[in-house]
Chain A
Amino acid sequence: MLLLLGLCCAPILIAKEAQPNEDPQIAARMRNLTEQLRCLVCQNETLADSRADLAEDLRKQVREQIKAGKSDKEIIAYLTDRYGDFVLYNPPVKSTTYLLWFGPFALLIGGTVVLFRFLKRRRELIHEQPLTAAEHKRAEEILKSA
């Protein structure tokens, strides 16, 4: 019964949002754009996935702007002007995000330098100490007796 209910309701839920006769090119751009954008109400969802009212309104805006011939760049600018870079899942490279973008590489390079210096110093600590004649003789005796 529950299964039946699920089967009959699922298409209705989808139908609310999908635009059946939409130009496939617009649909593809729409999908591509909204998957890069964050829904601010439920912050871990993309604008494509979210069921929040605000997300539905923003998808409507994005769709309208695609139809009005706006470029992806213009549409993204429209959203970041209002909601900030936080709407982007892919944050732009700029002075405030240098640490975010380059921090991990700086850590990797720094860590490698520290590791090599450590290994080099450890190698320097080991020096060859040749056996003295007495030690040599004793070692031979131990080997023979074994």
Chain B
Amino acid sequence: MNKYLLVPLVLFLGLVVFLMIGLRRDPREVPSPLINKPAPDFQLQQLKEPIKTFSSKEMRGKVWLVNFWGSWCIACREEHPVLMKYAKGEVPIYGVDYKYANDATDERAGAMQMLAEEGNPYTLVIHDPEGRTSIDYGVYGAPESFLIDKTGVIRFKQIGPITDEVWNNKILPLARQLNQ
């Protein structure tokens, strides 16, 4: 038999392998251009006390997690118990409660109610009423979380809910390493 007859078969099998890998990847997870880049600075009102503001610059020298969420976001409610479990731990979690500019609902009230009912895992919650900061961070599928190092550089991004696995295998080990 001509040995070249096997070439198309081998090529086909190679294609199958690539397609199999492609099928297992989540098309919603778009790689962020912000990884290893300075986190966009923001200064926003605090959720509970709007007269006070919070600036991301205050966090220089600390390793922290910023979590973008909203009371309208169903996956955020799914994530909430996991954040509650790791709240007040080694990694401070700061929440940015946001909504889209064209959404006319009262997100501040919605967010306050959700935190009152289900607990507050956040060290501090910041309010982004027009979603501008969320756009600066390239958020498109809430919840999204960013681990920021002491110099203000984004080291890790989680798209979608944080699970126990993500927290224990990715966020916590990386935060410990960055804290050294």
Binding site for B on A (CB under 8 A): 40-41, 43, 53-54, 56-58, 60-61, 80-86
> What is the interface of chain B, defined by CB distance below 8 A to chain A?
27-28, 30-34, 100-103, 130-131, 135-138, 140-141
Cα–Cα, bound, A99→B116 (Å): 52
- Taking A82-B34, A83-B30, A84-B30 as contacts, is the C-beta distance between A57 and B135 under 8 angstroms? yes
Which of chain A's residues have a CB closer than 8 A to the CB of B28?
43
- Give the Cβ gap from A70 to chain B, nearest Cβ, in Å: 15
B138-A57 in contact (CB<8A): no
Instruction: Report how far A41 CA is from B140 CA in the complex, Å.
Output: 6
> How far does the Cβ of B69 sit from chain A's closest Cβ, in whole Å?
15
A-B contact pairs, 13 of them (CB 8 A): A40-B140, A41-B141, A53-B100, A56-B101, A57-B101, A57-B131, A83-B30, A83-B138, A84-B30, A84-B31, A84-B32, A84-B138, A86-B31
Closest to A39 in B: B140
Known: A82-B34, A82-B135, A83-B33. 18 other contacts (CB 8 A): A40-B30, A40-B141, A41-B141, A43-B28, A53-B100, A54-B100, A54-B131, A56-B100, A57-B100, A57-B130, A57-B131, A60-B101, A60-B102, A80-B33, A82-B138, A83-B140, A84-B32, A86-B30
| Cross-chain contact B141 with A82 (CB below 8 angstroms) | no
Shortest Cβ distance from residue A15 to the other chain B in the assembled complex, whole angstroms? 14
Q: How far is the CB of A44 from chain B (nearest CB, A)?
A: 10
**Contact partner of B33 among A43, A56, A84, CB < 8 A?**
A84
> Which chain A residue has the least Cβ–Cβ distance from B136?
A82
Give the docked Cα–Cα distance between A56 and B33 (Å): 22
Minimum CB–CB distance for A77 against chain B, Å: 11
Kindly provide the distance from the CB of B132 to the nearest chain A CB, expressed in whole angstroms. 8
CB distance from B51 to the nearest CB of A (A): 26
Enumerate chain A residues within 8 angstroms of B130, measured Cβ to Cβ.
57
B102 touches A56 (CB 8 A): yes
Would B138 and A54 count as touching, CB distance under 8 A? no
A83 cross-chain contacts in B, Cβ below 8 A: 30, 32-33, 138, 140
Closest 9 CB pairs of A and B: A53-B100, A40-B140, A82-B138, A84-B33, A56-B102, A86-B30, A83-B138, A57-B101, A57-B100
Q: How far is the CA of A53 from the CA of B131 in the complex (A)?
A: 10
Complex Cα spacing A40 to B31, Å: 12
- Chain A residues with Cβ below 8 Å from B100 are 53-54, 56-57
CB of B102 within 8 A of CB of A53, answer yes
Across the interface, do B135 and A58 meet the contact criterion of CB distance under 8 Å? Answer: yes
Q: Which residue of A is nearest B99, CB measured?
A: A53
Contacts of A61 in B (CB 8 A): 135
CB distance from A90 to the nearest CB of B (A): 16
Q: Kindly provide the distance from the CB of A37 to the nearest chain B CB, expressed in whole angstroms.
A: 12
Residues of chain B within 8 A (CB-CB) of A84 are 30-33, 138
Chain A residues in 8 Å Cβ range of B103: 53
Q: Collect the chain A residues with CB atoms within 8 Å of residue B138's CB.
A: 82-84
